[in-house]
Chains A and B, each alone.
Chain A
Amino acid sequence: MTATALKTHSLSAYYGDFLAVADVSMTIDQRSITALIGPSGCGKSTFLRTLNRMHEVIPHARVTGEITLAGENLYDPGVDPVLVRQRIGMVFQRPNPFPTMSIRDNVLAGVKLQRSRLPRSEADDVVEQSLRSANLWIEVRDRLGKPGAGLSGGQQQRLCIARAIAVQPDILLMDEPCSALDPISTLAIEELMLELKSTYTVVIVTHNMQQAARVSDKTGFFNLAAVREPGRLVEYADTTTMFSKPKKKETADYIAGRFG
């Protein structure tokens, strides 16, 4: 029996009056990779963004329901979203290193901006550890002072992962982290995810079913009944079960490529 990292209870996400994701209850296991799949517009990215309270950054966006992290409801009125995001990091679809910063400063950005002072030796350790964990250290150790935006797309994405894990979150959310990358960089990121799950809980949104099958332990399938209808969690099970004998016909159809 694996421990629970995060639990959502009848979670719904809105954009203004539009209900984008309805009534999702799921349990995310600790130190595992959970993949969220589904056709475009089914709300899987929106759902992911509710997990670290990034959804509400968008004007008029709001959330109902509960998410519990270690017994605490993230949507409790007293909870500071800034502190939630320090514990639940996020990697985005497009690599977005800070353009004004060097590789080193990009890795340190989260740590430095959260608290003001960091001794140099400690900072050096954080940079090396994070870049090593992101499998980027060997490629960039000679040019840490160079701008982060000068790296290739795949390297930039690994830099963003290094930046996210430098603040030592418990959970790492990845919103289609490979969709802007070539196959070789994708492979590098997938290998990285498998290494990361020994330390972190990873939740990944992906369009790529093969990717979900390759890396994840559990898979959740989101779908929507029709356009303008809310997305729902249709089925959630072990990845092997999902891809071999899904319970619902909808899931089987999607996995077999009959729609989506």
Chain B
Amino acid sequence: MDLKEPRLVFLEANNSCPYRWSTGEIVGSFLTALRDHGKLLASKCPACYRVACPPASYCEECGAAATELVEVGPTGVVVSSAGVEEPWAGAPLDVPFCYVLIRLAGADTSLLHLAPNDGSVHPGSTVRPELRPERNGSITDIKWFVAAGEVERGGP
């Protein structure tokens, strides 16, 4: 017996899986300080003095428990960047942006975040965070990092 069109080529499947990720106390404190005070906190290792932002309750370098939180930034220097010209559906922002690794003042590690993709931010730039007016305790409470000079000229 003959088979009819259409052939079966693809089965579309969409799954939306919800999560509630426990942060633990240290990451929780980082997000709380960002939400409530717009501050960036880092963890300082008591054994090797490495300052890590974002913080963790353990030092990834030497393995010691790290429970002291210190404030870092708000400015930082861009270490590396990768530009996105055409954001895809579900991208972190819906305007052209750069992924940036930022060495915040006082930190020994780089923070991954975003920056405008308009030539204002590049490796070596000093940047500072542009906070969202409404914050809920996630890393996106910072919209992105902008060139520090811009904000000093009377930015948001």
The judgment on whether A and B are partners is: no
Which residues of B pack against A, CB within 8 Å? none
